[in-house]
Amino acid sequence: MTERFGVVGGGIVGVAIARALALEHGKTVTVVEKEGRLAEHQTGRNSGVVHAGLYYAPGTLKARLCAEGRAMTRDFCVDHNLPYREVGKLVVATRPEEIGALDRIEARSIDNKVPGLRRLRAEEIGDVEPHAVGVAALHSPHTAVVDYVAITEALAQELREHGGSILFNHEVIGIRETGGKVELRTPQQTLEFDRVIVCGGLQSDVLAQQAGASPSPKILPFRGEYRSLVASRHNLVRGMIYPVPDSDFPFLGVHFTRSVYDEVHIGPNAVPALAREGYLWRTISAKDIWESMRWPGAGALARRHWAMGAKEISASLIKPLYFREAQRFIPELTLSDVGGKTAAGVRAQAWDQTGALLDDFALDQIGSVTLLRNAPSPAATSAMAIARHVIKHHVLTH
C-alpha cells in the first residue's frame, strides 16, 4: 500500500518538501495549510533576496544549504521562466570601526565560496553604487532577487501535476501518532498519514508541542517593516546596499533592495512583534506576549539586547530616525525621498531557555513526525536544498 505523507505549512519550504516527495520519490503528498492561499506569511513578506552566503558560519546547515539552494533556485527560475535578476549586493562599512567585522564577513564568504566576491576600497564603491559612500565594502555580484510567491506557486503546480494536493483553510490543532499512523486534527476533519513533516514557521513551536516535542526552542516573533524609496529617486540604488551587521544580533539592519520588479525598498528593521502574526503595531495578542514574557530566557534576552531593541523601536515609530540610518549609506538621500511604510513581515526567530537566539536551521524527529523548528533567513533561498536534506536525513530514514 502506498505511503501517505502530510506536510503542515504552505510556505515555500513546506511546498518544496511536498513537491520533492511527489516529483522525486513518487510519494502521495497532501499539504495542510491554515490560510486560504500559499506563501501568506514569511515567504510572501520578505525582500525577495536570493542570498549568496556571505554571513553564515562555515560548516553550518545554513552555509551549506544556502549555497545549494541558490543554485537550485536559479535553475528552477530559468526552467520555469520566472524572473531571476542578479542585481548584486554591496555590504558597506561606513565607519573605520566596522572594518574588523567586514574582514570577518569576507573570510566567511571565502570559506563559503561566494561566487565573484570582491573587496572594494572607498574610492571603488561608486563604481558599483554611484550614490553610496563608505570606507570599504564587499561586492557580491551574483546576489539576486526573485518573486518567492511565484516560485511557491510554481512548486505547488508541479506537486499537483504529480498527484499531490493542498488543503487550504485547515488549521492543525492536534498531532497524534497512534496505531502506526499520524493523525492531524483540524476543525473540519481528522487526517491520517504514514509520515508528517511540520513546517509551521511562526507556529512551529506550537505544532511541535502538539506532536509531543520539547517546548524549546520557542518562537519569538520579530516584525520587519519596509519603507519605499519614492519612484523619482529609484536611480539612487542599482542593486542592494547593506550595512555591516552586528554579529551579536541575528538581523542585518536597515538596507536598500531593488526588487525583481524594480521597486526599491528600505528596510527591514527588527522590532518585537506583539503577536505571532502581528504585522502592525495595533495587532496585539495578550497570549503571545505573556508566553514570551514568562519564557525562562526572557530576562537574559532583555538584558543582552535592550539597547538594540530600544533603537529599533524608536526608528520604527519616528521616521527621521529610520531615515538617518538609511542616509549613512547614501548621503544625498533626503527625508522626502523616503516614503511611508509599505509592508511588514514577521520573522519566526527561535530562542532557547537561556535567552540565546538560535542562528542555524534546527530539526527534531518525534516518531514519524519531522519538525522544522527553526528556519530563518536564508530559508527561502535554501528551500529546495532544505527539502532535499530533510527528506534524505529525516523523512526517509525513520
**Domains parsed from the chain with CATH numbers:** 4-48+149-217+359-397 (3.50.50.60), 84-143+220-351 (3.30.9.10)
Q: At 66, which amino acid appears?
A: C
Q: Most confidently modeled of 240-254, 264-278, 298-312?
A: 264-278
> Among 103-107, 298-302, 361-365, 392-396, whose mean pLDDT is lowest?
298-302
Range 198-233 burial, b when 16+ CB lie within 10 A, else e: bbbbbbbbbbbebbebeebbbbbbbbbbbbbbeeeb
Averaged over 338-345, what is the pLDDT? 85
What's the distance, Cα to Cα, between the start and end of the chain in Å? 18
> Among 126-140, 181-195, 329-343, whose mean pLDDT is lowest?
329-343
- 222's CB contacts (< 8 A; 6+ apart) are 251, 270, 271, 272, 273, 346, 347, 349
Averaged over 113-136, what is the pLDDT? 98
Question: Per residue in 233-260, pLDDT tens?
Answer: 999 999 999 999 876 665 677 889 999 9
Instruction: Provide the 3-class DSSP secondary structure of residue 278.
Output: coil
Which three cell numbers mark 351? 530562542
Question: Per residue in 177-233, pLDDT tens?
Answer: 998 999 999 999 999 999 999 999 999 999 999 999 999 999 999 988 888 999 999
How many Å apart are CA 103 and CA 96, to the nearest integer?
12
In 3D space, the residue among 220, 269, 262 whose CA is nearest the CA of residue 243 turns out to be: 269
How many Å apart are CA 87 and CA 85, to the nearest integer?
6
> Among 81-90, 304-313, 375-384, whose mean pLDDT is lowest?
304-313
Per-residue pLDDT, 1: 58
Q: Name the pTM for this structure.
A: 0.95
Q: Number of C-alpha atoms within 13 angstroms, CB side, residue 188?
A: 10
Averaged over 141-157, what is the pLDDT? 98
Per-residue pLDDT, 300: 86
Question: Per residue in 91-119, pLDDT tens?
Answer: 999 999 999 999 999 999 999 999 999 99
How many Å apart are CA 21 and CA 244, to the nearest integer?
39
